Amino acid sequence: MQPRSPLRCALLGAAAAFVLAVAPAAQAQSMHRCTDGGRVYYSDRACPASGSTRITTFGPARENSYASRSPSPAKLEKAPEHQAYLSPECASLSDAIRTARTRGVGYDTQSELREEYHRKCREQEREAQMQLREEEAKRRNEARQQRTAQQQERAQASMTLEQCREMGRIVAERKKRFDSMTAGEKGDFERFQANFSERCRGL
């Protein structure tokens, strides 16, 4: 075997370095659409090869993609609240779109994901948003009813306390002249005192 020339070794080394540099970037910009048992989900990892799983790879993006030109890492957006009311497939696709920029997915791939979401999940998203609004209105109504009940309970407790204080004052005054009462007055007083003790117990 003839020894390799210095120029050939340099060219081979440069080619290997280029492949190593490009491969991770291409891999980071790949999005896989997988199905597992009828459930569709999206992942930046390769789908499992077993079962009925089907693999569709989006990307890698072209070199002039938005992600390659972005000067700084994108901030991860919070998942929208109505996503909880979407089907598993649409929720997974929504997550894939939401996290695409932070994972280095290119602009062209993001556009493909948005087009698929618009095609499959547009009507479902409207229904999910409507369901979310209904749930929020229901929670607000329940909270309002609870506040009203608490206010009424506090008002009733305050009124009962005031009434018991007045009854206690009457009992104390009548006790002072109990001996001078007639038999009928004593009977009325004893019934009033029993009512006071029953109604105002613990206050």
Domain spans, the chain: 26-121
Average pLDDT, the chain: 79
Residue matched to tokens 């990307």: 59
Taking alpha carbons only, the member of 65, 46, 56, 64 closest to residue 105 is 65
Q: Are strands 56-58 and 31-36 parallel, antiparallel or unpaired?
A: antiparallel
Query: Phi and psi of 78, rounded to 5°?
Result: -75, 140
Q: Is the peptide bond before 60 cis (omega within 30 degrees of 0)?
A: yes
Residue 54 has pLDDT above 80, yes or no: no
Q: Are 75 and 40 in contact (CB under 8 A)?
A: no
Percent of the chain with pLDDT over 70: 71
Residue 45 has pLDDT above 60, yes or no: yes
DSSP collapsed to 3 states, 29-43: CCEEEEEECCEEEEE
Q: Sheet holding 31-36: strands in order across?
A: 39-43, 31-36, 56-58
Q: What is the mean pLDDT of residues 147-164?
A: 96
The helix/strand/coil state of 61 is coil
Residue 134 has pLDDT above 50, yes or no: yes
Q: 72 vs 127, which has greater pLDDT?
A: 127
Q: What tens digit of pLDDT does each residue of 70-112 get?
A: 455 567 888 999 999 999 999 999 999 999 988 889 999 999 9
Spell out the residues 6+ positions from residue 99 whose beta carbon is closer than 8 angstroms to its own.
76
